[in-house]
Protein backbone atom coordinates (compact mmCIF):
# COMPACT_ATOMS: atom_id res chain seq x y z
CA UNK A 1 0.00 0.00 0.00
CA UNK A 2 1.45 3.33 -1.09
CA UNK A 3 1.24 6.09 1.49
CA UNK A 4 0.97 9.80 0.75
CA UNK A 5 3.00 10.62 3.85
CA UNK A 6 6.69 9.71 3.52
CA UNK A 7 8.36 7.59 6.19
CA UNK A 8 10.88 10.38 6.84
CA UNK A 9 8.11 12.16 8.78
CA UNK A 10 8.41 9.54 11.53
CA UNK A 11 11.03 10.92 13.87
CA UNK A 12 11.32 11.80 17.52
CA UNK A 13 9.17 14.88 16.82
CA UNK A 14 6.15 12.71 16.10
CA UNK A 15 6.26 11.61 19.75
CA UNK A 16 5.45 15.17 20.84
CA UNK A 17 2.90 16.04 18.15
CA UNK A 18 -0.31 14.92 19.91
CA UNK A 19 0.49 16.42 23.35
CA UNK A 20 1.46 19.71 21.70
CA UNK A 21 -1.82 19.75 19.76
CA UNK A 22 -3.70 19.13 23.03
CA UNK A 23 -1.78 21.91 24.82
CA UNK A 24 -2.44 24.42 22.04
CA UNK A 25 -6.10 23.40 21.95
CA UNK A 26 -6.37 23.83 25.72
CA UNK A 27 -4.80 27.30 25.72
CA UNK A 28 -6.79 28.52 22.71
CA UNK A 29 -10.16 27.26 24.01
CA UNK A 30 -9.84 28.59 27.54
CA UNK A 31 -8.09 31.77 26.41
CA UNK A 32 -10.70 32.55 23.75
CA UNK A 33 -13.60 32.05 26.16
CA UNK A 34 -11.88 34.15 28.83
CA UNK A 35 -11.29 37.00 26.37
CA UNK A 36 -14.84 36.68 25.05
CA UNK A 37 -16.32 36.83 28.55
CA UNK A 38 -14.17 39.82 29.48
CA UNK A 39 -14.84 41.77 26.27
CA UNK A 40 -18.31 40.63 25.21
CA UNK A 41 -19.53 44.10 24.25
CA UNK A 42 -16.45 44.86 22.16
CA UNK A 43 -16.53 41.65 20.12
CA UNK A 44 -20.12 41.95 18.94
CA UNK A 45 -21.11 38.32 18.41
CA UNK A 46 -23.00 35.72 20.40
CA UNK A 47 -21.53 32.98 22.57
CA UNK A 48 -23.03 30.40 20.20
CA UNK A 49 -20.71 31.75 17.49
CA UNK A 50 -17.77 31.25 19.84
CA UNK A 51 -18.94 27.67 20.40
CA UNK A 52 -19.05 26.99 16.68
CA UNK A 53 -15.57 28.46 16.14
CA UNK A 54 -14.08 26.44 18.99
CA UNK A 55 -16.00 23.35 17.89
CA UNK A 56 -14.38 23.62 14.48
CA UNK A 57 -11.01 24.12 16.13
CA UNK A 58 -11.67 21.00 18.20
CA UNK A 59 -12.43 18.96 15.09
CA UNK A 60 -9.18 20.16 13.49
CA UNK A 61 -7.22 19.28 16.65
CA UNK A 62 -8.78 15.81 16.79
CA UNK A 63 -7.96 15.30 13.13
CA UNK A 64 -4.32 16.21 13.73
CA UNK A 65 -4.16 13.79 16.66
CA UNK A 66 -5.70 11.01 14.58
CA UNK A 67 -3.08 11.67 11.88
CA UNK A 68 -0.32 11.47 14.52
CA UNK A 69 -1.84 8.21 15.78
CA UNK A 70 -1.89 6.79 12.25
CA UNK A 71 1.79 7.69 11.79
CA UNK A 72 2.58 6.08 15.14
CA UNK A 73 0.62 2.95 14.24
CA UNK A 74 2.50 2.77 10.95
CA UNK A 75 5.83 3.23 12.76
CA UNK A 76 4.86 0.50 15.22
CA UNK A 77 4.41 -1.80 12.24
CA UNK A 78 0.59 -1.73 12.30
CA UNK A 79 0.66 -3.57 15.62
CA UNK A 80 2.77 -6.45 14.36
CA UNK A 81 5.31 -6.29 17.18
CA UNK A 82 4.23 -6.99 20.73
CA UNK A 83 5.74 -4.90 23.55
CA UNK A 84 8.10 -4.71 25.35
CA UNK A 85 10.54 -3.39 22.78
CA UNK A 86 13.54 -3.38 25.08
CA UNK A 87 16.36 -4.68 22.93
CA UNK A 88 19.23 -2.33 22.11
CA UNK A 89 18.51 -2.34 18.39
CA UNK A 90 17.41 0.38 16.02
CA UNK A 91 14.30 -1.62 15.10
CA UNK A 92 13.17 -2.04 18.72
CA UNK A 93 13.73 1.65 19.41
CA UNK A 94 11.56 2.56 16.41
CA UNK A 95 8.85 0.11 17.52
CA UNK A 96 8.93 1.46 21.07
CA UNK A 97 8.71 5.04 19.83
CA UNK A 98 5.75 4.16 17.61
CA UNK A 99 3.96 2.39 20.47
CA UNK A 100 4.63 5.26 22.92
CA UNK A 101 3.43 7.80 20.35
CA UNK A 102 0.26 5.79 19.77
CA UNK A 103 -0.46 5.75 23.52
CA UNK A 104 0.20 9.50 23.82
CA UNK A 105 -2.08 10.13 20.86
CA UNK A 106 -4.90 8.24 22.56
CA UNK A 107 -4.39 10.16 25.78
CA UNK A 108 -4.30 13.47 23.91
CA UNK A 109 -7.47 12.60 22.00
CA UNK A 110 -9.34 12.00 25.26
CA UNK A 111 -7.86 15.19 26.75
CA UNK A 112 -9.07 17.29 23.80
CA UNK A 113 -12.56 15.82 24.13
CA UNK A 114 -12.59 16.64 27.85
CA UNK A 115 -11.44 20.21 27.17
CA UNK A 116 -14.28 20.62 24.65
CA UNK A 117 -17.04 19.27 26.92
CA UNK A 118 -17.62 22.62 28.71
CA UNK A 119 -18.47 24.20 25.35
CA UNK A 120 -21.56 22.00 25.28
CA UNK A 121 -22.77 22.66 28.83
CA UNK A 122 -21.85 26.29 29.57
CA UNK A 123 -24.76 28.51 28.55
CA UNK A 124 -23.19 31.97 28.74
CA UNK A 125 -20.56 33.95 30.58
CA UNK A 126 -21.33 34.39 34.27
CA UNK A 127 -20.95 37.91 35.68
∠ CA 27-31-36 to the nearest 5 degrees? Answer: 155
> Confidence band (pLDDT; 50, 70, 90) for 16?
confident
Top-confidence residue, 94 or 35: 35
Instruction: Please give the pLDDT value at position 24.
Output: 97
Other C-beta atoms closer than 10 Å to the C-beta of 94 total: 16
pLDDT in tens, 106-118: 999 999 999 999 8
Residue 78 confidence (pLDDT) above 60:
no
> Confidence band (pLDDT; 50, 70, 90) for 31?
very high
CB within 8 A of 63, min separation 6: which ones?
A: none
Instruction: Please give the pLDDT value at position 124.
Output: 80
Helices 47-75 and 13-38 sit at what angle, rounded to 10 degrees? Answer: 170
Task: Tell me the average pLDDT across 13-30.
Answer: 91
Backbone torsions φ then ψ of 27, nearest 5 degrees: -65, -45
Q: Alpha-carbon distance 120 to 47, whole Å?
A: 11
Instruction: Please give the pLDDT value at position 74.
Output: 78
Instruction: Please give the pLDDT value at position 101.
Output: 85
Other C-beta atoms closer than 10 Å to the C-beta of 2 total: 3
Task: Tell me the average pLDDT across 16-41.
Answer: 91
Instruction: Please give the pLDDT value at position 98.
Output: 77
pLDDT in tens, 39-75: 877 777 888 888 999 999 999 999 999 998 888 777 7
Task: Detail the DSSP E strand segments found in the chain.
Answer: none
- Cβ proximity of 125 and 36 under 8 Å: yes
Amino acid sequence: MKSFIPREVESLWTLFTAPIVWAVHFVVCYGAVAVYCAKTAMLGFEFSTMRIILGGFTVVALGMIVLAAYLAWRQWGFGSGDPPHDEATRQDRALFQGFATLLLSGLSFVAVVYVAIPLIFIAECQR
